[in-house]
Amino acid sequence: MAEITQPAEHPIEDLHQVVQRTIEDAVRVNALRSAESVINSHVQIAEHAYVVFTVKNQPIIERARQHFLQHGLSPLGRYGQWEYSSMAQVMRDGFAWAHEQKHAHEVVLD
Ligand SMILES: Cc1cc2nc3c(=O)[nH]c(=O)nc-3n(C[C@H](O)[C@H](O)[C@H](O)COP(=O)(O)OP(=O)(O)OC[C@H]3O[C@@H](n4cnc5c(N)ncnc54)[C@H](O)[C@@H]3O)c2cc1C
């Protein structure tokens, strides 16, 4: 699988050319022995795949976070935290949040 990113504001390139360039580049870096070894290709476009950071982001994210928290919602994950996180990171944060909630709501019995 090859992942090719491009800015959302750019028009989508000709998909045939993208595939050709990807194969040529894979051969160039010795990831493929030859272009002929590719027997099929499939292109899937994932729009809005990544969060975008600008210098103005942080105060907006913090305001949104506080708004959600005040309403009893805990924003988590890549879009909840507006961060460039991996699957492992978002799962770790989800488990940590669940663990905290469990302890916060535990009834202490004498
Ligand atoms: C192209 C690409 C490649 C990646 N490759 C890797 C990789 O190799 N390794 C790695 O560790 N990470 C990779 N990641 C990152 C990984 O996918 C994310 O870190 C992870 O999926 C974030 O999990 P999440 O639960 O925060 O968000 P998501 O997985 O995006 O889950 C959010 C969910 O909320 C749903 N949703 C959104 N809006 C609503 C709504 N209004 N109502 C109900 N549901 C809604 C969405 O449909 C989605 O199912 C990649 C990401 C992309 C985009």
Quick one: pLDDT at residue 22? 96
Distance 106 CA to ligand 1 centre (A): 31
Domain range list for the chain: 6-47, 57-104
pTM: 0.78
Summarize pLDDT for 68-86 with one digit per residue, the tens.
Answer: 999 999 999 999 999 999 9
Can you list the alpha helix ranges (DSSP code H) found in the chain?
15-28, 57-70, 77-80, 87-104
Closest residue (by CA) to atom 1 of ligand 1?
Answer: 49
For residue range 29-64, list pLDDT tens digits in order: 999 999 999 999 999 998 888 888 888 989 999 999
What's residue 55's pLDDT? 87
